[in-house]
Amino acid sequence: MDFVVALLRASINSATPILLAALGGAFTYYANVFNIAMEGMMLTGAYFGVIGSYFFGSWEVGILFALVSSLLLSLLFSLFAIYLRSDEFVTGIAINMLALGGTTYLLRSTFHVKGAFISPKIIGIPSWNFGFLHDVPILGSILGGYPFLVYVSFLLAVVVDIVVFRSRFGLRLRAAGEEPTATRSLGINPTTVRLVSALLSGVFCGLAGAFLSLGYVNLFSENMSNGRGWIALAIIILVRARPLGILILSLLFGFFEALGIVLQNSPIPPQFTSMVPYVATLFALYVYARRKRKVSITAEVGDD
């Protein structure tokens, strides 16, 4: 029983950063911005979260730093990819490289360490306990006592769903993605809408980064996002960015990651358990592709 509880708790913790990043990416998906800079935004958020928390001694400043840094990076991305219309793909990769190189260098030059920075002075995000949950026997131990961002991110999944499908902004967002010309003819500037979507994804990825370095663990290590941004992107493709689908798939991927963590004490070599989320992503893409009609490369790469 303890094993199952530990597994489920680890799943929810692991799912949160992926969920946050994927929800942010949903905005850009609907605005038809190919946003692959999520990995870099997350990493930047994680680094500056630690900076804020360490130097100001408070997790609030940490989250603020994470948000602002990630927002600035997404602003840079939007400047190139949306305003100057440079290739979104190339720009995204360049931004990711900048984030990786920048955080690795800053880690070394600020804290004079290589690899990882750990300190008791990094204040983590506080956990929330619900009084009423405490009394419920099993549910209480599974659902209570996470860093509060976990609850916020699950709530955000619902909020994003409402915003995208039920609000005026959501309608404009989807319209700007599908038919920019028609949108413009109605007096809405699709470029602005796309900019807002990119900035929103920056905010969400910043939160995801802050959760990585202040909630999940209290440290920063080189390249600590470790492909979570890419997995989030794969999830977005798989569920066509439906927020509730993102929620479910993030939990699934969180489960796979947690499986890797829990199995670390088993005789299976840790390298294989760490591999699980990436293999699962490939498998999910395979299942998705099988469901679609069989497409040859000629038909699929059309004119987008």
Binding residues for other proteins (CB under 8 A): 76, 80, 84-87, 89-91, 93-95, 97-98, 100-102, 104-105, 107-109, 226-227, 230, 233-234, 237, 269, 271-272, 274-275, 278-279, 281-282, 285-286, 289-290, 292, 294-298, 300-303
User: What pairing do the DSSP bridges indicate for beta strands 219-221 and 116-118?
Assistant: antiparallel
Q: What share of the chain is helix, strand, coil (3-state, %, to 5)?
A: 75, 5, 20
Alpha-carbon torsion angle 215, 217, 220, 222, nearest 10: -120
Taking the least distance from each CB to other proteins, the nearer of 69 and 281 is: 281
Q: Which residues contact 151 (CB under 8 A, 6 or more apart)?
A: 128
Taking the least distance from each CB to other proteins, the nearer of 92 and 215 is: 92
Give me the least distance between CB of 245 and other proteins, in Å please. Answer: 17
Give me the least distance between CB of 239 and other proteins, in Å please. Answer: 14
Give me the least distance between CB of 281 and other proteins, in Å please. Answer: 5
The DSSP letter of residue 186 is: T
**How far apart (Å, rounded) are the C-alpha atoms in residues 232 and 246?**
9
Taking the least distance from each CB to other proteins, the nearer of 94 and 219 is: 94
Taking the least distance from each CB to other proteins, the nearer of 81 and 176 is: 81
Taking the least distance from each CB to other proteins, the nearer of 159 and 279 is: 279
The DSSP letter of residue 82 is: I
Give me the least distance between CB of 39 and other proteins, in Å please. Answer: 9
Beta bridge partners of 147: 127
Crossing angle of the two packed helices 148-166 and 168-178, in degrees rounded to 10: 70
Give me the least distance between CB of 100 and other proteins, in Å please. Answer: 7
